[in-house]
Amino acid sequence: KAGVTQTPRYLIKTRGQQVTLSCSPISGHRSVSWYQQTPGQGLQFLFEYFSETQRNKGNFPGRFSGRQFSNSRSEMNVSTLELGDSALYLCASSFGPTNPYEQYFGPGTRLTVT
Amino acid sequence: KQEVTQIPAALSVPEGENLVLNCSFTDSAIYNLQWFRQDPGKGLTSLLLIQSSQREQTSGRLNASLDKSSGRSTLYIAASQPGDSATYLCAVPNTGNQFYFGTGTSLTVIP
């Protein structure tokens, strides 16, 4: 069974640009969550999608957005990039929208903003 | 808001030693707790998931315990190996799927 996949694995962008990251969950999983990981702030929750609907949103500015497609694949978009957006972006998938389902993480997308 | 703390922040042990990593959380009304491992620059690998009704969960050389009333979980690693070197994170979800992560324990096992 294939794990969670994320593309691209690495990205270099300049300030002011926008970027789109993609996440394909484990087959059969319908919930996808996104996290930002930085050395200073650790892992922070961005948002969660289930059945194409955003169910939870973390404390991030509106420049961060996402969506989920009917096949459960998800994308997140960051507009008007800032240097502070440089981070490892991780997505996680699980079977359902509520506990007790185990979460499985992808390898992440390393975004560098210059 | 749930706050998760992990102690120690870093740990260095000789190969073969048994060790304990600690995780504490402020809100004891949890559904479950999950332990992850992260290698440098990589994603998270799930190690163990403990449901709120369980007190222990074991996988190979790993044993995780959960004490909801005191807001604590421990991850016990037996007979440590250099391949165990990584950052270990515990995470607690809210009623949905939003996880609150600890800052992690960076483990180095010296051959």
pLDDT of residue A98: 66
Tell me the β-bridge partners of A78. A19, A64
Q: Which among B46, B52, B103 is the nearest to A103, CB-wise?
A: B46
Tell which residue, B36, B78, B72, has the closest CA to residue A42: B36
Per-residue pLDDT band for B28 (boundaries 50, 70, 90) equals: confident
Q: Please list the ranges in chain A whose pLDDT falls under 70.
A: 1, 97-100
| DSSP reduced 3-state for A84 | helix
User: Is B46–A107 a contact, with Cβ atoms under 8 angstroms apart?
Assistant: no
Distance from CA of A7 to the nearest CA of B (A): 13
Q: Do A97 and B89 count as a contact with CB atoms less than 8 A apart?
A: no
Decide: A94 and B97 in contact? Cβ < 8 Å.
Answer: yes
Of chain B, the percentage scoring pLDDT greater than 70 comes to 100
The distance of B97 to chain A (nearest Cα, Å) reads 6
Pairwise CA distance, residues A85 & A66, whole Å? 15
B54 inside 8 A of chain A by CB: no
Phi/psi for A47 (5° steps) reads -165, 170
What is the pLDDT of chain B when averaged over all its residues?
A: 93
